[in-house]
Structure 1
């Protein structure tokens, strides 16, 4: 093995030890490009490190999106803003800046079915992942079931500590299924732990005066409503079905 190949072999070994995967796989091509373009040592090193950093940042972002457990990917750019309810059009621009996460504020998307509540919630969640925030997505029925299981195995405290580390928790489908007393109390307790500290987005088809249908307890309902809405963004999502418009547009493309 000549000196050049020996150096390259050693570089790959060091890159592997230091977990610099891009440098390990691209070093030969990078050297060839540097020679072809007559790059300085500084430019060569800069290019290597930039490529390594970009890939690592991309992988971390994709990891955050995967661990958030979104049911599917939706982006803010995919939204047809003019088809959203008027209040959503008004507030979405501000929400998309994600300052509400930095400030630990909640967002409640409340309105009838099909108006874009879940799409907006997922889109804000994915943007948060892209900007380095730790996000969790779940439905309220699934969340309650999980909390009950953790309580029964005496591992709820550990999960609560884990939950407190999420910058944003998205609870979808609040109000679609009623809960028993134990489930309501667990939901109330675990949402309350985040109140005023970390952000929660809730999508619901129920107006606040009907939240008692979920909790079955007027005192708990009043307390939950107060804690969730305090310094929160409440978005009125009542309007024509956004989902129906999307379906119609898709059907139109099939006919043309």
Structure 2
């Protein structure tokens, strides 16, 4: 067995997969560039670090369960939707997560609220933050299922432990008393330092329509909006444009 094969086996055993993949190329470069041993070692270790960073990012993106690929860098500004370019650039740093800011994305159907929320979530993943995406209705169904299985506290702990939680399409229907309590427990567990991104068609002043208990409505609203960055999106529906043969690119 050639020495390079033995080395590859050792690297596999040590789980240095990035270094193993890069080693043949680095050996060629070593002879061509006349690197010193320390330079060669440093580059090999950088290869391994990059491999692990990419693997962690892929895992965070997979676990986030985004319904679509999206990035802040590729947002479409050709259609007026009242998006502030400078604010979008600020979001790219991920500081909104470090500061524990919520983001409230409001606007009519089809203008790209979900797409923007996914782009913010991808940014968080790239910055090293754990992220989860849930349509509100599916989240509440999971709460109900977890309760029947005696796992509601475990599910709540998962949701209050993630750095960024995206709640999509809040306000489509009125919440039951139990779901209002679930919603309160969720936002109360995240209020101190964690980021919640919420998309909705419903203005804040109308949240009582879907949160009929006035005390819980006030408590939930306060915990979401008190530290929220508000984004009010306008414009025509992208879905409508697609059906009419207009824009085909994601928003």
Of 20, 30, 33, which residue of structure 1 is paired with 2:29?
33
Shift of 1:82: 4.6
Query: Where has structure 1 moved over 6 Å in runs of 4 or more?
Result: none
Structure 1 residues 241 and 21, CA, compared in 2 at 3 Å: closer, same or farther?
same
Distance 1:88 1:183, change over 3 A: farther
Q: What is the SS of the residue equivalent to 2:168?
A: strand
Query: Contact 1:84–1:115 (CA<8 Å) still a contact in 2?
Result: no
Where in structure 2 are there 5+ consecutive unaligned residues?
none
Q: Hey, what does 2:120 align to over in structure 1?
A: 124
Task: Measure how far apart 1:28 and its partner are.
Answer: 3.9
Q: 1:212 offset after TM fit, Å? A: 1.5
Partner of 1:168: 164
| Match for residue 186 of structure 1 among 172, 182, 185 | 182
CA distance in structure 2 between the aligned counterparts of 1:39 and 1:101, rounded to whole angstroms: 41
Which residue pairs with 1:254 in the alignment? none
Q: Aligned equivalents of 1:233 and 1:66: distance in 2?
A: 26
Equivalent pairs, count: 247
Quick one: distance in 1 between partners of 2:44 and 2:87? 42
TM-score (norm 2): 0.89
8 Å CA contact 1:110–1:205 kept in 2: the answer is yes
| Structure 2 counterparts to residues 11-30 of structure 1, below 5 A | 11-30=7-26
For the structure 1 residues 224 and 114, does the alpha-carbon distance in structure 2 shift closer, same or farther, using more than 3 Å as the test?
same
Structure with greater Cα Rg? 1
Counterpart mapping for 1:57-68 below 5 A:
57-68=53-64
Cα 1:84/1:130, change in 2 over 3 Å: farther
Cα separation, 2, equivalents of 1:93 and 1:174: 26
Helix, strand or coil for the counterpart of 2:247? helix
Aligned 1:137-156 pairs, distance under 5 A:
137-156=133-152
1:77 match: 73
Identify the range of structure 1 (229-238 vs 68-77) with the bigger mean alpha-carbon deviation: 229-238
Counterpart of 1:249 in 2: which secondary structure? Answer: coil
Q: Once structures 1 and 2 are overlaid, which stretch shifts more, 134-143 or 27-36?
A: 27-36
Give the direction of change, closer, same or farther, for the CA distance of 1:97–1:242 in structure 2 (3 Å limit).
farther
| Cα RMSD after superposing both structures | 2.2
Pair 1:89–1:222, CA change in 2 (3 A): farther
Task: Point out the more displaced range, 24-33 or 101-110.
Answer: 24-33
> Aligned residue for 1:214?
210
Could you list the per-position Cα deviations for residues 154-185 of structure 1 after superposition, in whole angstroms to 9, with x for gaps in the alignment? Answer: 21222222222211000001012332221222
